[in-house]
Each structure stands twice: as structure tokens, then as C-alpha cells.
Amino acid sequence: MESNVEHGEEGEESVIELFRDRFRLCTISIAEAEAKQNGMEISPLIVACVSDLAFKYARQMAKDVELFARHAGRKSVNMEDVILCAHRNDNLTAMLRSFSNDVKAKEPLSDKQKKRKKIPQSDDKAAADLIHS
């Protein structure tokens, strides 16, 4: 049993390192774009620092959103849980909330909306039947 746990931990460590590297790749493109926008250069050390910080933050976020979802009696994390993570800063909360509204607006038609669209059609059909009969 113990050796399995050790192997598991070693495996986890290497997976964490892989994720950390992939995080760095994402961060590099975001950071360089941001620095370019402001007309500044950025040292690679800063990018690595910010990336590792963001990685730690992501792992903390995972714990936080899980706690929020469970606190609400849910097993799945939704947008409200993520917005709660930003509660320390009102501007940040507002930015996230408006982003979440955009995401909701861009969603493909839900079943409810499809049903709403169908009802006028059946009304038209009923009206047409009345006229024909």
C-alpha cells in the first residue's frame, strides 16, 4: 500500500510540473501581448514568476470554488462560484460578472427559448386553420 502511495505522489509531482510548464506557455503569450500594448519590454524572469503565481492561484481557486459549490449543496461548480472568488475586489467582481453575462448571451438557444419560438408558429397555424375552415 505504501509503495503505491509513493508512486502516486511521484506521478502527481510530474503531472504538476507538466501543468506548470503549460501554464508558463499560456502566460508568456498573455504577458508579452500586455507589455507590447503598453510599449514595454518584459524580462523572462517576471513571466516565470507571474506564471507560477497564477498556477498557485489556480490551485487555490480550485479549492475555493469546490467549497462554495458544496456550501450551496451542489457537486458542480457554476459561474456564481467563480465570481465569488473575486469578492475581495469590487472592480474585479464587476468585470467578471459582465464577462459572465456576455458568455450567457453568446450561448446557443436553450430548450426554453426554442419552445418560446415554437408557440407563435402553432398560434399562426391555429389562426390559418380558422381562416381556412
Partner 1 sequence: MEANSFDPELIRAVFRLVWRKQATGREKSQLPDNEPEAGASTSKKSRLTFANANALKLSCELLRLFVTEGIQRAGTIAEAEGSSKIEATHLERVLPQLLLDF
Chain residues that interact with partner 1, rule: CB under 8 A: 12, 15-16, 19, 22-23, 26-27, 29-31, 33-35, 38-43, 45-46, 49-51, 53-55, 57-59, 61-63, 65-66, 69-70, 75-79, 81-83, 85-86, 88-89, 92, 95-96, 99-100, 103-104, 107
| Residue recorded with cell 489556480 | 58
Of 9 and 129, nearer to partner 1 (C-beta) is: 9
Q: How far is the CB of 32 from partner 1 (least distance, A)?
A: 9
Of 3 and 76, nearer to partner 1 (C-beta) is: 76
Distance CA 120, CA 133 (A): 20
Run of H or E including 45: helix 44-71
Q: How far is the CB of 128 from partner 1 (least distance, A)?
A: 40
* 51 grid coordinates: 506564471
Of 101 and 125, nearer to partner 1 (C-beta) is: 101
Distance CA 91, CA 86 (A): 9
Spatial neighbors of 129 by CB under 8 A, at least 6 apart, are: none
Of 95 and 127, nearer to partner 1 (C-beta) is: 95
Half-sphere exposure of 9 (CA within 13 A, CB side): 5
